[in-house]
A = this chain, B = another copy of it.
Amino acid sequence: MMFGKVAIIGLGLIGSSIAHAARRGQLTGMVAGFDSDADVRARAAAIGFAAITEGLEEAVTDADLVILCSPVGSYAALAREIAPLLKVGAILSDVGSVKSAVLRDVTPFVPEGAAFVPAHPIAGTEFSGPEAGFASLFDKRWCILTPPPGTPPAAVEKLKAFWEGMGASVDVMDAIHHDLVLAITSHLPHLIAYNIVGTARDLETVREAEVIKYSASGFRDFTRIAASDPTMWRDIFMNNRAAVLEVLARFNQDLAVLQRAVESGDGQYLFDFFTRTRAIRKAIVEIGQDTAAPDFGRKS
């Protein structure tokens, strides 16, 4: 048993999946769960993946590991409330998709005797809420830890073992580099997906019903990502602005070049460009970060 008690704050897709996965791995004697939304608490209690508490204090008290699983915009207020409740030796962690802002918001509140070890599991689906969680979400996925300088190595090791026990592989990196990596691998893709779905919806010349009907030719892939949780994504863009704007600027420059190639009918440029991008797909499939089945193995 790694931890006597784990407290999960925020019972959405990731929080509920941690509860399932920690139980599957027999990593803790008890999972306590709290969510600020009473309806979410009731639904989580009905599913039964954790001992749901009516207050934050009851969840956090005596916990050996407290994991913030709510949108990152809520962390500062939560940390302020949780800090005085943390027992000596407790680890405070999170699952936020941005890490510099999380360090900025949480670190000031972390009391002596407790360790803050930020974490970000690179896993998820387009579904939200306590019903969306499942035990195998983190299997074969990466979880990135970004401990600030001075974090006790033992706390980092313990959290690493916890994530490995839930099926993940663990990397440790600097928060600033994390935010740049995620800006290109996750935040920009989401921004672009949201944007193209918006463009398609608002076109005057093609009806929305036609876009929906003929979506199997490419568009539908983007709608999955653009169905992700709006609060979570608002908070990510509010808290990783510099990195997102940096990669977006590059994306815009590259798109302008591609646009000129289409305008001028530069077939050789287009062919070469479209040939080079194939290699990355191949590499992703080869290291097991995506399925080799055509069309993601869709059954529809």
Contact = CB atoms under 8 A, between A and B. Distances in A.
A141 interface: yes
Interface in A188-230: 188-203, 205-206, 208, 210-228, 230
**Range of interface residues on chain A?**
35 or more
A71 to B, nearest CB: 10
B259 A186 contact: no
A293 B288 contact: no
Q: How many copies does the complex hold?
A: 2
A198 B142 contact: no
Contacts of A251: 195-196, 199
Contacts of A262: 191, 237, 241, 244-245, 248
Contacts of A248: 255, 259, 262
A142 B213 contact: yes
A46 interface: no
A248 B200 CA distance: 11
A266 to B, nearest CB: 9
Contact of A195 (B73, B226, B254, B263): B254
Contact of A277 (B122, B227, B231, B293): B227
A126 interface: yes
A220 B277 CA distance: 12
A227 B278 contact: yes
Contact of A300 (B195, B220, B291): B291
A24 interface: no
B213 A289 contact: yes
A250 B288 CA distance: 36
Given A122-B217, A293-B299, 15 more contacts: A141-B216, A181-B214, A185-B217, A186-B217, A186-B218, A188-B196, A213-B287, A220-B290, A221-B225, A226-B280, A227-B277, A230-B271, A234-B271, A248-B255, A252-B252
